[in-house]
Chain A
């Protein structure tokens, strides 16, 4: 039996969908600064080329893949950034910047013209053309590919090459956030016609020298990389260690230089030994979804009572040891520029909870809290909640399910169950996929026609102020109406040997939005940790 599958199993999925948004208009010009410049930082000495870096992520299994369509975990996303590029890349504030696309333009926000960068070559020497882009995007819609992003890709009604370096994408409806969507690593560009993904043939900063699923991924610096002078490293080895203690031990013993998904409980040890900790404020959250269409959730009073039962400060301080931000029962994290800051924080209020729960007549419901190691920290959050419920006279049994099969067998299928959601590249996608009436992953089955109308209105809206107001109202509606209890947004933690330089936190996901390998360099003068 596998002993070490970390309790935070799906933490590997921390930020597995990134989020970003192109502010306002649909015009996307190449005047934005390339991101590599910022990452170097002001106080850092000049980056130095060379060296070999060992990295250990959280997950390694035979499900590891080089097929962008099948990227599911954080380690997959890192592998994606290592060997491939997208048309768009996201910066630390999740704003889209040009990558393989030089320009991305639209007049009506529905038909988009993509102009590709000139002179980019794949690792096998072939030049990047429009046909590669069409193939890479269109394959997500083919069910046989098994793409993780199929639902999102279906937004693209038509994808055409209109010139050697020009692609036209027609969406199903206007969507100002289309560039952000292309920032998802899964939409990385592969060579036209690729079906064998045992090797990676991308345009990315490293070429693939070894790929053994469940064991190791190795890369060598791509000398022809278009974002030169990046990358700085000569070669990279990437492994996955699912056991928390072993992963940290590997860093402490200098077997590896960087680890992802640091356990908050080991931060103190790593700091005293001189290792660096990077805290990334990603918008990943673990929530309790109370279904509004069955069980006790049919009573609005019950749902309100449950929301008052969450001791959010305790969740933040005891479960995440402070490496989290309090949630307010809506999915937008405090750092986000559209965050509804004036929405009052819902407090932990046992008296009010008892009042609402009694009024709902559901005190004797006996409906269990379904949780799993698959949903980050959900078992611990359930324990905190259960104790609070017990204090107001509500008995909530906990049912901890195996991580194995949790998403298909239990998630969204029980009256009260925990889920874990990573931030999406835009608010539009978050709302459309998780909260709209017909959303495929509407955890609480919340339906509000006004919310659906606002969603469509925001999509076609170019005026930034109006858009902000709409998104604000939508957050308020979720906060009050949906059956989502959202106690906290997690902070992603990575740890590194001090000789690794150039790291900077990003909202887009762990390890600089999974793209750290293009930015880090090794400073052998730094001495190293104890």
Chain B
């Protein structure tokens, strides 16, 4: 069992490296294919052809694409992600505080969302078609289908402007106590968690119900095993694979897919940095951010796969 797991992990790491390589090349090519470069974006409306050309030269953007890519790869091999084309600062220095912020937000959201989603999703499946299940279904679907910016905006307007119980902006610097921590993070985490949870509850419920329809489950029902026991001892082990996968997919977007939340709460995270960098064609930062997002995604999905594979043999005979 352990040897099998180890082999699997190694294979997945190898595969992950392939994916990373693909992504790195793809992103480099895609950003190069985008109209305009950092020189164009810097000068913007005030650009003239000769000024842009001169700036391009000063930033070494007139070198061939493959050469710039090689330079970048060479730097990465030495653990140097390069300097931002826009600010001239090292990429790592610009990334680090943002990564910290993003991890903080993603971590807090995960802590809230995953346990709640599991409990609620399982409950929905256990008491399928009950009033509780119906209400939860409509509620989760409703939350998912309302645009995130609207949820965030409405909650800020209600809780920060009308009732004045929380700040409208999430300023990490203002945190000096546990209480302040909760106040500062309450709104973004609540918004983000409700959206993530809604997705996860939907998928968990569907996976569990699917497992319920298996013949051995019907046997258990006929034998008169109580629903909660069926759920925890018979159904859950069999559904772990798809459930883990659904959770991993939902969580993987918490770093890079939360631009709306970061914008509305003025929370300086990675997603915003990524958008800024795409807008200004700051290739080294785009590359670094994409690598981070990709690695997070690969890590989470690999974890899900391992959980899934590890759970299969036990489940079959149940």
Measuring CB to CB, which residues of chain A are less than 8 angstroms from any residue of chain B? Answer: 1-5, 13, 61-63, 65, 70, 72, 143-144, 146-151, 198, 212-215, 239, 241-243, 245-246, 249-250, 252-256, 404-405, 407-409, 411, 420, 440-441
Contact = CB atoms under 8 A, between A and B. Distances in A.
Nearest to A213: B87
Nearest to A440: B48
Contact of B263 (A246, A249, A253, A407): A246
B161 A249 contact: yes
Interface in B44-65: 44-48, 50-51, 53-55, 57-58
B58 A146 contact: yes
Interface in B63-87: 84, 86-87
B160 interface: yes
Given A249-B161, A250-B266, A63 B86 contact: yes
Contacts of A5: 263
Contacts of B48: 150-151, 440
Interface string B151-189: 001001100110010011101000000000000000000
Nearest to A17: B46
B51 A143 contact: yes
Contact of B54 (A65, A143, A148, A242): A143
A104 B35 CA distance: 44
Interface in B138-158: 148-149, 153, 156-157
Contacts of B264: 3-4, 243, 245-246
B89 interface: yes
A414 B299 CA distance: 46
A147 B276 CA distance: 20
Shortest beta-carbon contacts, A-B, top 9: A143-B54, A144-B58, A3-B260, A4-B263, A253-B168, A408-B40, A61-B276, A2-B275, A253-B160
Contacts of A411: 45
Chain B interface residue bracket vs A: 35 or more
Contacts of A420: 45
A239 B44 CA distance: 22
B305 interface: no
A249 to B, nearest CB: 5
A149 B36 CA distance: 20
Contacts of B94: 62, 213
B35 A405 contact: yes
B164 A3 contact: no
A409 B169 contact: no
Given A4-B264, A252-B161, A253-B160, A63 B280 contact: yes
Contacts of B41: 63, 405, 408
Nearest to B266: A241
A253 B276 contact: no
16 contacts: A1-B275, A2-B275, A4-B263, A63-B276, A63-B279, A144-B57, A148-B44, A151-B46, A198-B87, A212-B268, A214-B273, A246-B263, A246-B264, A250-B168, A253-B164, A408-B40
B84 A62 contact: yes
Nearest to B157: A249
B126 interface: no
B263 A3 contact: yes
A241 B167 CA distance: 14
Interface string B267-293: 010001101111110100100000000
A250 to B, nearest CB: 5
Contact of B268 (A3, A214, A405): A214
B263 A242 contact: yes
Contact of A1 (B50, B259, B277): B259
Contact of A214 (B57, B168, B272): B272
B44 A255 contact: no
B50 to A, nearest CB: 8
A436 B110 CA distance: 60
A407 B45 contact: yes
Contacts of B263: 2-5, 241-243, 246
A62 B278 CA distance: 11
B42 interface: yes
Contacts of A144: 54-55, 57-58
A150 B51 contact: yes
Nearest to B42: A146
A1 B261 CA distance: 11
Contacts of B57: 143-144
B254 interface: no
The winner among B45, B86, B264, B285 for most chain A CB atoms within 10 A is B45
B168 A255 contact: yes
A144 B39 CA distance: 10
Contact of B156 (A239, A249, A407): A249
Given A143-B55, A253-B160, A245 B153 contact: yes
Nearest to A198: B89
A72 B86 CA distance: 13
B212 interface: no
Contact of A255 (B97, B169, B272): B169
Contact of B46 (A1, A149, A214): A149
Contact of B168 (A246, A408, A441): A246
Nearest to B37: A408
Nearest to B282: A62
The winner among A147, A212, A242, A253 for most chain B CB atoms within 10 A is A253
A148 B276 contact: no
A253 B42 CA distance: 34
Contacts of A65: 87
B37 to A, nearest CB: 9
